[in-house]
Structure 1
Amino acid sequence: MEEKRFQLSDNESQILNTLWKEDRALTRAEIIEFTENKTWKASSIHILLNQLLGKGAIVVEGYVQSGKNYGRTYKASLNKDEYDAMIFKSDYLKLSPSKAALNDFFKFLISVNKIDESTIKNIKSMLKEQEKNN
C-alpha cells in the first residue's frame, strides 16, 4: 500500500475536520454549512476541494441530485488517527529520526498530559503486540 504524505492549509484542515466530525460523505453545500466559523464562497470551496482531491486527502464518494443538477459527495481518504500518524512521521521523525529522539518525544508527551489508567493499559497492550510482531 502506498504511503500517503501531504501538507494541508488551515482551510483544508478545517474541511477535513468537518468530514471527520460528520463521519459521512458530504456535499459541497453541507461542508460549507457544517464547517464552523467559515463563510466560503462557492468558488473558494471548489478550489479547496480540488486541492484536497489532488493531494489525495479526500475522495469523491458518490453523487446526489440537487434540483436538476447532480453534486459530488466527498469523504476523507484517511481517518483522523491515520492523518495524525502521517503528520508525526513526516514532520517529527524527519527532523529527529533516532530512537533516542522518539523516546524523548514520548517522555515529553507523558509529562505534559495526564494519562489515565485505561490509556496506560491500552499503550501497554499495543507495546506487547508490537513486541510479538518484531
Structure 2
Amino acid sequence: MGLKRLSLSEEELMNVFWKIGTPITSVDILQYAKDKTWSGNYIHKMLRELEEKKFIEMCGAEKHRGRLVRQFKAIVSREDYATFFLEQQGLSTKALADIAVAFVKKKQIKKKKSEADQKDVIDEQLIKKLQEMVDALKEEE
C-alpha cells in the first residue's frame, strides 16, 4: 500500500475525516476541531501534506461566503492505517488476527453485561470467521 507514518497533528486531522465519513472542507475542519489551536493556514498545510502522502484527495468544491472551497475525502481507512502502524511495530499478520479476535470477544463480553441483542449472533459468526483465519495462518507457519 506504500503508506507513510503520520505526525500526531496529521493523525488528529485524519481522525476528523474518519469520524465524519463524508467529504469535508477546511471550513468544516475548523468547526469540528474547535478544541484545537489550528489556524486556517496550518490546516491548509496539513491538508497539502495529507494529500501528498495519499491519505486524502480532493473530491469537489462548494461555495462558502461567496468563495469556492475545496472538499476532501479520506482515501485511507482508519483500519488500513492502524494495520500499517501495527506492522511497523513488528506485529505479524497472525498477531493482527489474534488481536482482532480478542477485540471482538472483549466487545461481546461488554455487550452481554449491558443488553443482549441480535448483534450477538453476528459477533459469534465474526468470531468464528476470525478464528478460522487465525487457524489457517497458524497452519501456514
Q: Which TM bucket (shorter chain)?
A: 0.7 to 0.9
Summarize deviations over 1:8-64 as a string: whole Å, max 9, x none: 111111111111111101000101110252131111111111111111111111111
Question: What residue identity is the alignment partner of 1:125?
Answer: K
Matches within 5 A, 1:1-134: 3-93=1-91, 102=95, 106=98, 110=102, 114=106, 116=108, 118=120, 119=123, 121-128=125-132, 131=136
The 1:120–1:88 alpha-carbon spacing in structure 2 relative to 1, beyond 3 Å, is farther
Gaps of 5+ in 1: none
The 1:65–1:36 alpha-carbon spacing in structure 2 relative to 1, beyond 3 Å, is closer
Aligned to 2:114: none
The 1:123–1:64 alpha-carbon spacing in structure 2 relative to 1, beyond 3 Å, is same
SS in 2 for 1:39: coil
Summarize deviations over 1:64-85 as a string: whole Å, max 9, x none: 1223321111111122112211
Q: Offset at 1:129?
A: 5.6
The 1:53–1:28 alpha-carbon spacing in structure 2 relative to 1, beyond 3 Å, is same
Summarize deviations over 1:82-128 as a string: whole Å, max 9, x none: 221121223323xxx596xx39x948x94xx8352645641321343
Question: Are 1:18 and 1:34, in contact at CA under 8 Å, matched by a contact in 2?
Answer: yes
Moved over 4 A (4+): 117-121
Gaps of 5+ in 2: 110-119
Percent identity, please.
Answer: 22
Aligned length: 122
Question: Are 1:14 and 1:35, in contact at CA under 8 Å, matched by a contact in 2?
Answer: no
Question: What residue identity is the alignment partner of 2:49?
Answer: Q
